[in-house]
């Protein structure tokens, strides 16, 4: 499936939860499949921290440019673009095409940098709703996302209950735990205290706070993987091939160094950190982790999640993964309970998968089969 990114500009100010507003912004998006005559087969995909509007397919002439959820979405795939019109949109504040901190603030004529307004999950949903308005889509067959994307999908069902038939919330949570916030905070401190951050205005200094971004990404990667899969993939294996082949059983091949790489897991993390620091925007990292921290639909209901979810009228598919310790199954069960307390119609699958939080992006037949079945049901409902 060859796809082409698009962009839409919005001149009217969008009021944000912080009290600020943003105007003259644009959203990058992609669509796959065909909107049917009664405009009932649209599926919106919401992305997590490090993803974009490029959800599925490849760009012409770039065979390795598959979208981040290409296993899930495309012709004949679980979310079948032969039946559904699928929309991916890059969120405000991100760094893959939509207006973000690296763009010019129309109020000042200068690059936003640290002055880019704080955006919340709710703000993103509002911006996505405007995009759908412009596309003439009144009601979504489904809104779907994993992790932070799942929070957006959930928030859609609360902010625009009548515009959503189905909410598909994968590897997500009703809010972050203290530990989740703690990991975000360490990553942010690593970025903010990098001397190359310059208070968020590093663009004008011609530098990038790569040290901080590397640390942030390394922390992220640890929390995306399960302890088990890390042990299986890396264990205590040394980077040196000799020891790896078992030829150095007495440990003679150890380097005894505090700074050189000794274990394969170190090599992996450094590589992931380096790669990330080459392309990800530091201010975007702060904004997106903060949106995660702030998301808490029960806050206005004295922490009563069932009350917060009472607004939702959609039907739901929720999925969690047994070894996900970032957004553990018990967090999805909180959502299940809150929805059941309101008598909502839902399906819940707890997938026994070894990969931790990352599992939501991987090919697991039970997982993909569950989503496929659910979307077949949606297709039948809307006659698509």
Among the listed residues 80, 126, 194, 324, the single catalytic one is 324
CA gap 60, 57 in Å, rounded: 10
Which CB, 59 or 325, lies closer to a copy of itself? 325
- Is the Cβ of residue 273 or residue 329 nearer to a copy of itself in the bound state? 273
Is residue 147 annotated as a catalytic residue, yes or no? yes
- Residues 159-163: contacts with CB under 8 Å, at least 24 apart: 159/122, 159/125, 159/126, 159/129, 160/125, 160/129, 161/311, 161/312, 161/313, 161/314, 162/313, 163/129, 163/132, 163/138, 163/139
Provide the binding-site residues for a copy of itself, judged by CB under 8 A.
17-20, 114, 117-118, 175-179, 181-183, 185-186, 188-190, 192-195, 200, 211, 214-215, 218-219, 221-222, 225, 227, 230-231, 233-236, 246, 249-251, 254, 256-259, 262-263, 265-266, 269-270, 273, 283, 286-287, 289-290, 293-294, 296, 299-300, 302
Bridge-based pairing state of the strands 79-80 and 2-3: unpaired
Which residue number, 30 or 122, has a Cβ lying nearer to a copy of itself?
122
Task: Say whether 126 is catalytic.
Answer: no
Say if residues 40 and 26 touch (Cβ distance below 8 Å): no
Which CB sits closer to a copy of itself, 137 or 292?
Answer: 292
Q: How far is the CB of 232 from a copy of itself (least distance, A)?
A: 9
Q: For 3-62, give the DSSP string.
A: E--EEEEE-S-EE-TTS-EE-SEEEEEEEES---TTS--EEEEE--TT--S--SSEETTB
Closest-CA residue to 331 (of 343, 344, 346, 348): 348
Report the residue number, 163 or 221, with the smaller CB distance to a copy of itself: 221
CB of 286 to a copy of itself, least distance (A): 4
Phi, psi of 53, rounded to the nearest 5 degrees: -70, -15
Bridge pairing between strands 164-170 and 140-146: parallel
Q: Is 15 left (phi over 0), alpha (psi -120 to 50) or beta?
A: beta
State the Cα angle at 57 between 54 and 60, rounded to 5°: 95
Task: Determine the 3-state secondary structure of 316 from DSSP.
Answer: strand
Alpha-carbon distances, residue 52 vs 157, 275, 278, 300, 333 (angstroms) = 21, 17, 16, 30, 28
* Active-site residue, from 147, 155, 320, 332: 147
Annotated active-site positions, please?
147, 324, 357
């Amino acid at each position: 499936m060859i796809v082409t990114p698009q962009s839409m500009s919005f001149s009217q100010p969008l009021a944000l939860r912080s009290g600020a507003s943003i105007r003259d912004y644009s959203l990058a998006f992609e669509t796959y499949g065909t909107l049917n005559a009664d405009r009932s087969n649209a599926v919106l995909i919401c992305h997590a921290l490090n993803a974009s509007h490029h959800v599925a397919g490849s760009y012409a002439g770039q065979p390795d440019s598959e979208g981040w959820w290409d296993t899930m979405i495309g012709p004949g795939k679980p979310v079948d673009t032969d039946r559904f019109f699928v929309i991916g949109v890059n969120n405000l504040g991100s760094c893959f095409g939509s207006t973000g901190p690296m763009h010019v603030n129309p109020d000042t004529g200068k690059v936003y940098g640290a002055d880019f307004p704080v955006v919340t999950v709710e703000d993103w949903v509002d911006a996505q709703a405007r995009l759908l308005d412009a596309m003439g889509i009144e009601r979504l067959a489904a809104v779907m996302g994993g992790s932070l994307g799942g929070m957006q999908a959930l928030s859609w069902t609360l902010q625009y209950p009548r515009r959503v038939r189905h909410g598909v919330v994968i590897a997500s949570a009703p809010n972050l735990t203290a530990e989740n916030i703690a990991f975000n905070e360490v990553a942010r401190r690593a970025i903010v205290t990098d001397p190359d951050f310059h208070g968020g205005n590093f663009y004008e200094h011609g530098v990038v706070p790569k040290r901080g971004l590397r640390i942030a990404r390394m922390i992220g990667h640890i929390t995306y993987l399960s302890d088990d899969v890390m042990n299986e993939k890396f264990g205590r294996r040394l980077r040196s091939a000799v020891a790896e082949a078992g030829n150095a059983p007495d440990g003679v091949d150890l380097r005894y160094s505090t700074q050189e790489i000794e274990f394969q897991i170190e090599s992996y993390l450094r590589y992931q950190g380096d790669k990330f620091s080459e392309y990800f925007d530091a201010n975007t990292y702060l904004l997106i982790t903060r949106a995660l921290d702030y998301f808490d639909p029960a806050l206005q209901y004295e922490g009563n999640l069932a009350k917060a979810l009472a607004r939702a009228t959609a039907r739901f598919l929720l999925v969690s993964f047994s070894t996900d310790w970032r957004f553990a199954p018990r967090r999805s069960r909180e959502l299940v309970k809150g929805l059941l307390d309101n008598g909502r119609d839902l399906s819940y699958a707890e997938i026994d998968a070894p990969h931790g939080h990352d599992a939501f992006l991987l090919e697991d037949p039970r997982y993909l089969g569950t989503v496929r079945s659910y979307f077949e049901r949606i297709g039948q409902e809307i006659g698509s």
